[in-house]
Amino acid sequence: MLKLATLKQRLKFNPLARQQKFSKKGVALLLAMTTLILMIWVASEVSTDSTIEYVVNSQEINRIKAFYSARSSLDLALLRIKVYQQASRMPLPPGFAQQINMIWSFPFAWPLPIAAETSLAAKDDIEGAAKASIFDGQYTHTITDEGSKLDINDLASPSKTLREITKKQVLTIFEGKLQNDDKFREVYANYNFTELVNRIADWMSDKNSSENGGDKRQAFRELGENFPPNRGFRTLDEMRLVPGMTEEFFNLMSPSITIYGSKAINPNTAAKDVLKSLDPNMTDDAARDAVERRDDEDKGGQYKGASSDECRTDYKNFIEGRGVRLNPDFDKIPFQCDTVVNFKIEAIGMTGSGKGAVQKKITAYVMNVQKAAATIKSYLDKERKEAEAAQGQPGQRPPPQTGQTSPTKTQEALPKGRPRIVYWSEQ
């Protein structure tokens, strides 16, 4: 029989006590690990949020930098146009106009691009200037002549002459495509492009009657009750809404047309496609030679003429010398050989590198509204005089009396400030 003391001692012994001791240590370790994991997760989330916020803010800063880079590039382009406008008014020696055009025509970039053939000294100067600048972005801009394109809004011009000339020139674009593209001719040989051009005019006309006959609103009824808007096109993309206008037709026309034309063709800057659209008999070879001549003094250089008739005559003599027989309507097309007045500016600003690079683009159109209005007025005055002469009421002013002098044409004053921007878009 066990002694009472031994029995009490055994009753005091708990075999689970050691296990409970180790069990409490395991809970503490588990709690410590859980707390550590939670802290790591919180730190990771804070770090991720901070990184995202940093990237977002950095991109926003880069977007601002890119925008103001493009804006700076645009301002520099406007300065070049202003300098050109001032220089073109100076008495210059013959044949110097081509050099003057270089003020606005060559593309510009910053930092200055370094060509392979650039000397080491010039490279060091360019790199030193870039490093010395506090500007850390990049920008480029191009300036092109917009005035020498066909102004599609002239299809609804108050001048009958401009309306008829513009319509024939637009139709010439399609006629030239039919003659030179076999696939296009197979599909559209029997297509009535005159109806399409008339619908374009109906878009702008303030009359309810269509150029094609009937009520013009019938052709636009699928677009809604507010169409046609009876106003000029505000962007070229609006032409896509004209019934019958396909993407193929639009892409064919868009390189040669504009809504910011100067109401006259400048053969010294007009693109080859524009020159081809002036007459259906114009050939590719003749248009190419016309472009090559104005860029080469040995071939004749720039076309010359102080007036529209003189400029047209110089160009016409050259083209007919290439075996092209122009239609009589060619003599009605307004020409100008002096200066470029309407421009398109495309300014691009860039900042950052790699995936973080940001680019902004600004497109602006500069237009001499006064000169365009003066051209339209001259046509209206000419048409009025012709109408008065046909009715036996000549509209010419009587010759000046003895002792009086005929008024001399004075050069229009150059407007102060930067050139007038009529359109601005940002991308």
Same domain, yes or no: 308 and 380: no
Look at residue 303 and tell me if it is in a domain: yes
Look at residue 52 and tell me if it is in a domain: no
106-110, 145-149, 288-292, 389-393: least confident range: 389-393
According to the model, what pLDDT value does residue 204 have?
A: 93
- The C-alpha atoms of residue 92 and residue 304 are separated, in whole angstroms, by 13
Same domain, yes or no: 335 and 346: no
344-378: per-residue pLDDT in tens? 999 999 988 777 789 999 999 999 888 888 888 88
Look at residue 29 and tell me if it is in a domain: no
pLDDT-derived band of residue 409, with 50, 70 and 90 as boundaries?
A: very low
Same domain, yes or no: 319 and 362: no
Q: For 56-79, what is the mean pLDDT?
A: 91
Same domain, yes or no: 83 and 165: no
Last residue of a domain, one of 339, 356, 378: 339
Same domain, yes or no: 362 and 422: yes
Under 8 Å between Cβ of 155 and 168: no
Phi-psi region of 251 (alpha: psi -120 to 50; beta: other; left: phi over 0): alpha
Same domain, yes or no: 139 and 217: no
Same domain, yes or no: 331 and 354: no
Last residue of a domain, one of 214, 246, 278: 246
Phi-psi region of 91 (alpha: psi -120 to 50; beta: other; left: phi over 0): beta
**Distance separating the N- and C-terminal Cα atoms of the chain:** 103
Look at residue 31 and tell me if it is in a domain: no
According to the model, what pLDDT value does residue 187 have?
A: 93
Q: Give the number of domains in the chain.
A: 3
162-212: per-residue pLDDT in tens? 888 899 889 999 998 998 899 999 999 999 999 999 999 999 998 889 989
Look at residue 364 and tell me if it is in a domain: yes
Q: For 249-265, what is the mean pLDDT?
A: 90
Same domain, yes or no: 161 and 238: yes
Q: Tell me which residue range forms the domain holding 73.
A: 60-126+134-147+342-390+418-426
Beta bridge partners of 350: 138, 359
pLDDT-derived band of residue 23, with 50, 70 and 90 as boundaries?
A: low
Same domain, yes or no: 233 and 182: yes
Of 248, 243, 252, give the one whose Cα is nearest residue 210.
243
Look at residue 209 and tell me if it is in a domain: yes
Look at residue 51 and tell me if it is in a domain: no
Look at residue 401 and tell me if it is in a domain: no
pTM summary value = 0.77
